[in-house]
Amino acid sequence: MSLTHLSDDEKLFRDTVRRFAAEEVAPHVRRMDEAAAMDKALIRRMFDLGLMGVEIPEVHGGPGGTFFDCVLAIEELSAVDPAVAVVADVQNTIVNNAIIRWGTDTQKSRYLPLLAVGTVGAYALSEAGSGSDAFALATMAVEDGDCYVLTGRKLWISNAAEAGVFVLFANSNPSAGYRGITAFLVERAFSGFSVGKKEDKVGLRASSTCELILDNCRVPKENVLGKAGQGYKIAIETLNEGRIGIGAQMVGLAKGALGHAVAYAKQRKQFGQTIGSFQGVQFDLARMATDVEAARLLVYNAARLRDACQPFVTEAAMAKYFSSEVAEKVASKAIEIHGGVGITKEYPVEKLWRDSKIGRIYEGTSNIQLMTIAKKLLA
């Protein structure tokens, strides 16, 4: 069976998301990009459609879907606006999954229903000194009675402006190095917690990216996710899944750029004929389409493996690495096919190109993915 084959239920779900993106997201894309702000009504609609809690079990208010369903949703949203897709991607692939896998029954009962119906989640690992070296954390967690007191700053946290719940990492035992890192479920209303500066980005502008400030933030011990010292393991496992989500985002972005390029090639005329009749443009489009399909197969393969509980770490790295390269290349070529108008904001391809750049950076740079792939080859 081809990896691109979808069941009837998967097709129905994909088509529902595709219609939502075309009818309800597309009209707001340019305005949100220029304002660098997400339309709150769109987030509300994503909750209504079940797109913010795809894998959350029905017992906790979710639709009980699959990880592959998440991938389909992220791809379709990204074809219209990758910034909107980020909100659902972060929520599903790393926040919800972390709680589903590592949360206690009490934590699941408290937080999953919120994340399913109306509360945005964020994942707070990165700091000024811990990017690719993800576990060089300076944020500290000190036991104090029935709480941990957290002090430090987090940077580049997606969804931070809207989020009410944060999966946040701090070191509770610095002498143990990375084995002292602990994951916490931090609520926005907790004393000592605040959201700081919002970054002014070149791409994904409607998606919020902010710093978090922890000034003696008190977190109840029952909000430790997993066990103290298991934070590094939780981070590694969730980010491996998150990379498949980023792969889906980049595939959707590239698909969107290709679609715009094809449509323009069919209607733009030069020398008395459409530019799509010229072999040079045809070959460009053919290469773009081939790259998009190859990236999609890598992403779908990794997602299917994850749902089948099979090893997928190398496949996730391949999917993330290749799809991010393809997205940037296809979006750039789409601008060239549009010619001069391609660099204007009147056409959507320049935004997709700006959005594509982060794909090779966040949730593991391309070099980190190559290291992961090479490590498996040389084992």
Residue 223 has pLDDT above 50, yes or no: yes
Average pLDDT over residues 150-171: 98
Q: Output the pLDDT for position 216.
A: 98
Instruction: Round the average pLDDT of the chain to a whole number and report it.
Output: 97
- Per-residue pLDDT tens for 94-130? 999 999 999 999 999 999 999 999 999 999 999 999 8
Residue 3 has pLDDT above 80, yes or no: no
Banded model confidence at residue 137, pLDDT cuts 50, 70, 90: very high
Query: Could you confirm whether 336 is annotated as catalytic?
Result: no
- Per-residue pLDDT tens for 251-293? 999 999 999 999 999 999 999 999 999 999 999 999 999 999 9
CATH 1.10.540.10 given to domain 8-119: yes
Which residue bears the tokens 């290469």? 287
Fold of 122-229: Butyryl-CoA Dehydrogenase, subunit A; domain 2 (2.40.110)
Q: Which two tokens stand for residue 35?
A: 């304002």
CATH 1.20.140.10 given to domain 232-377: yes
Average pLDDT over residues 38-55: 98
Q: Output the pLDDT for position 1.
A: 46
The fraction of the chain above a pLDDT of 70, given in percent, is 99
- Region(s) of the chain under CATH 1.20.140.10: 232-377
- Region(s) of the chain under CATH 2.40.110.10: 122-229
The pTM for the full model equals 0.96
Task: Choose the catalytic residue: 187, 328, 350, 363.
Answer: 363
- Region(s) of the chain under CATH 1.10.540.10: 8-119
